[in-house]
Structure 1
């Protein structure tokens, strides 16, 4: 069995771990942002299937250890139709991923992150609204498509949460719960497609302790300061990473 040092340089391993810590901190602070930060960086260092599997498994792991932050705190009537829609979208997304080259993956990651970041920046939270289940399920399908293809399920759901759920704590819990469930679905489908390999699993073991540290710091910051101050920072970082991936994909 190869060691991590045979797969990546020390600098690359440090980059993976640092990214995991920062992404976990941002996720704990806002309820979203892990994949928006992690996947663009991971895709610069790893093959497409390795990048998405690592991001998804890290999300599952850190969500499991911090379940008290979201369990029982989100609206189940909105969660169920959205996760059902995500099942369909994820299956299609995994199929699309299997046919992508690394440069194509980076280009689509970059463009998707830029578009989603700009859309999210334009959405302002408002009073909780009642929306048809078809819209909720459709949001789940769109999220699943991005989840299966890029391991970035967040943008459609973040826009939905900001437009429909006004309470920051409830919106944060809803996003955390959805991303946990959607990433479980994604990893199951990645496994069926034969995309789960040794490299992301070894990196999971290496990076997970840093995720735990980042999660604890982010949770403390959220409970002390709230999530409002973080939003422009998260969007700015995601936009920069999206631009870098687009540039890398065009080379």
Structure 2
């Protein structure tokens, strides 16, 4: 009973973060859930709850979803996943994970201090961001930052940025949930916890979305950089 209550609280917070920023629920949930349950339960549980979040946000932002913005990210992510699996087998994952973390911290700190103008990277960079997201996600379960960085470099309105991230994560989540289900990772224990987590994560997402609606684009972009720094610190810390 206590574990279920704490799990619901964790997902309330995780939903709030992603409702506010468009990403980051796993950043909140996985470290805390690992204190309550086995990681093999926490990961598929977080993936299922992530689908609740992205489905809600996708519906909420449906007028700002543009397939032509999401498509090159997805095209790049497919070969990226294959490359990530190979990378995981042949390279010291701790070294690369730390390197990615340092890069995120450095890049985000620079943008917070200097605040450069948007550069609107082209289609090639979208495909590259998708590729890196697929590779890092497959190898280290931390694939979001390249796509997040790509969208933050554009001059898009904040609703378009959030909608593009959400659309990409919805489709990527469908693939992940399917793989988890067919491989037996999603167990009855996971589904039991999900019954508790789903209403909590939805409530948190709705609350975060309400706060998001009251902030300006520049504040939103700064929030993205702060969360990327947090991701970087977590990667470096392992």
CA contact (8 A) 1:19 1:41 kept: yes
Q: Residue 199 of structure 1: which of 176, 189, 195 is its match?
A: 189
Deviation at 1:96, TM superposition (A): 7.1
Are positions 1:119 and 2:107 aligned together? yes
CA contact (8 A) 1:93 1:145 kept: yes
What residue ranges of structure 2 are gaps of 5+ in the alignment? none
Deviation at 1:106, TM superposition (A): 9.2
1:75 match: 66
- Equivalent residue runs for 1:99-248 within 5 Å: 112=100, 115-123=103-111, 124=115, 126-127=117-118, 129-131=120-122, 133-226=123-216, 228-229=218-219, 236=226, 239=229, 243=233, 247=237
CA contact (8 A) 2:108 2:226 kept: no
Q: Residue 19 of structure 2: which of 23, 28, 44 is its match?
A: 28
Deviation at 1:109, TM superposition (A): 6.7
* TM-score normalized by the length of structure 1: 0.74
* TM-score normalized by the length of structure 2: 0.77
CA distance in 2, matches of 1:197, 1:105: 27
Deviation at 1:228, TM superposition (A): 4.3
Q: What whole-Å deviation, never above 9, does each CA across 1:65-113 have from its counterpart, x for those lacking one?
A: 33332224133222111112222333554677799xxxx9999877755
Are positions 1:56 and 2:47 aligned together? yes
CA contact (8 A) 2:81 2:138 kept: yes
CA distance in 1, matches of 2:204, 2:148: 21
Indicate the larger mover: 205-214 or 139-148: 139-148
3-state SS of 1:64 partner: helix
Deviation at 1:231, TM superposition (A): 5.7
Q: Residue 40 of structure 1: which of 31, 34, 52 is its match?
A: 31
Q: For residues 109 and 46 of structure 1, do their structure 2 counterparts lie closer, same or farther at Cα, with a shift above 3 Å needed?
A: farther
CA distance in 2, matches of 1:98, 1:48: 20
Q: What whole-Å deviation, never above 9, does each CA across 1:112-157 have from its counterpart, x for those lacking one?
A: 55643543443457446250x3321121121122333444332011
3-state SS of 2:153 partner: helix
Q: For residues 192 and 79 of structure 1, do their structure 2 counterparts lie closer, same or farther at Cα, with a shift above 3 Å needed?
A: same
CA distance in 2, matches of 1:209, 1:187: 19
CA RMSD of aligned residues (A): 3.5
CA contact (8 A) 2:73 2:131 kept: yes
CA contact (8 A) 1:107 1:246 kept: no
Q: For residues 236 and 126 of structure 1, do their structure 2 counterparts lie closer, same or farther at Cα, with a shift above 3 Å needed?
A: closer
Deviation at 1:33, TM superposition (A): 1.7
